[in-house]
Amino acid sequence: MRRKDRQMSAEFGYTVIDKADFGVVSVMDENGDPYGVALSMAREDDALYFHSAKDGKKVRAFTNNPNVTVVFVGDVNVPESYTEEELEELTQDPSQAAVFASGVFTTEYESAIVRGTVSRVVDEEEKVRAMKHICEKYVPSKMEYFALASADGLDKADVYRIDIQEVTAKRKKASGEEGNSRDAAFLA
């Protein structure tokens, strides 16, 4: 990671993964071209689970090459660090131009990248457990209906597991939190 001041722990990365609405899985398709797709995922320990149709471009890509990268984005914020009056005052001093790059045109963010291998889940118990994790993440208020839905729907989709081999994470905060500062990050 180039910006070591933004590097976060793997534990922080797991937090980002757990709260992210989706992860973008990147693979090489059967023609050797890059292919990325956003998927709803849930994590259990060092495994990510998602469901899929039984055939399609990503399924064929997984068969060709099980190595994947998954990108998760957590909280994103464009900070309002300066009032309009302060900004107007800054425009009067050309030496303050860097403030605009680092404090106005900047974004706070957190992200995690997973490297791993993907495989289709064949064990029925693991498949049910994985679907339950996914449903608990996305529709927790409807879990009383999970057994009924899974009895009908489990045979119609496949479940895949990504075994996590590496997690890297980073965060940028304009407020100086955890080693990050108001640095020159114009559109970075």
Q: What are 29-88's pLDDT values in tens digits?
A: 989 999 999 999 999 999 999 999 999 999 999 998 999 999 999 988 887 777 888 888
pLDDT in tens, 7-35: 678 998 999 999 999 999 999 998 999 99
Q: Evaluate the CA torsion angle 116, 119, 121, 122 in order and state its sign.
A: negative
Per-residue pLDDT at 138: 95
Per-residue pLDDT at 181: 36
Per-residue pLDDT at 123: 95
pLDDT in tens, 105-124: 777 889 999 999 999 999 99
Per-residue pLDDT at 73: 94
Annotated domain spans of the chain = 4-78+108-173
**CATH for 4-78+108-173, among 2.30.110.10, 1.10.275.10, 3.90.700.10, 3.40.50.300?**
2.30.110.10
pLDDT in tens, 122-179: 999 999 999 999 999 999 999 999 998 888 877 888 999 999 999 999 988 765 444 3
Per-residue pLDDT at 7: 66
pTM for the model stands at 0.81
Per-residue pLDDT at 65: 92
Per-residue pLDDT at 183: 34
